[in-house]
A = this chain, B = another copy of it.
């Protein structure tokens, strides 16, 4: 089945992009890792690496968002949802040897000033995350402006903590970012009453 091959290519590429970035990952490495024929890559993605990268960015962004949404849905309230997200991120970092963090952060920085179509793809993913987080806070009764600022602040804190934690091979930055973010949400909720 063709669909399966295409999926394997995207998934393998997503893992490689997440761990080593865009430029350091070769198309041959992707198809080898995916156990897919080399020709199939250019069959499914005629425009080559960039088209594949666009698909990987969108796909990875969507999967990560669904993962976070699941954590929130499994939590009793928004506050513990935020707490569980940061705790889960720290746990994943430890379990994967600080390899699996944000799926698109490395690529986003690489392409931000060098590849406009890919930059736009990363921007759309981040904006989608921000909107999803904003909606969570809106549902908790937080006013719109505060909700969006909270969302951007939390995602920024998460990304920065991913970076520092991976470099230092320690979850200390992630733990601190989690505590700070939980406090920020708690303060916003306290404003309501």
A160 touches B155 (CB 8 A): yes
- Listed from nearest, the 7 A-B pairs whose CB atoms lie closest are A160-B160, A156-B160, A23-B24, A23-B23, A159-B160, A112-B166, A106-B109
Are A176's CB and B153's CB within 8 A? Answer: yes
Among listed A31-39, A44-52, A71-79, A118-126, interface-contacting one: A118-126
A108-B110 Cα distance, complex, nearest whole Å: 11
A97→B114 CA distance, assembly (Å): 12
A191: min CB distance to chain B, Å: 13
- Main secondary structure on A side of the interface with B: helix
Residues in B with CB closer than 8 Å to A106 are 106, 109-110
Point out the residues of chain B lying under 8 angstroms from A149, CB to CB.
Answer: 176, 179
Interface centre among A106, A149, A164, A167, by most chain B C-beta atoms within 10 angstroms, is A167
A161 to B166, CA, bound (A): 17
B contact residues around A168 at 8 Å (CB)? 123, 126-127
Q: Is A152 an interface residue (CB 8 A)?
A: yes
Inside 8 A of A23's CB, which chain B residues have their CB? 20-24, 110
A158 within 8 A of B: yes
Once the chains are docked, how many angstroms separate the CA of A163 from the CA of B161? 12
Contact A109/B113 with A152-B176, A157-B160 known, Cβ cut-off 8 Å: no
* Chain B residues near A173 (CB-CB < 8 A): 152, 156
Q: What separation, in Å, do the CA atoms of A184 and B159 have in the docked complex?
A: 19
* Contact yes or no, A159 B164, CB < 8 A: yes
- Name the residue of chain B whose CB is nearest to the CB of A119: B167
Once the chains bind, are B163 and A108 in contact (CB under 8 Å)? Answer: yes
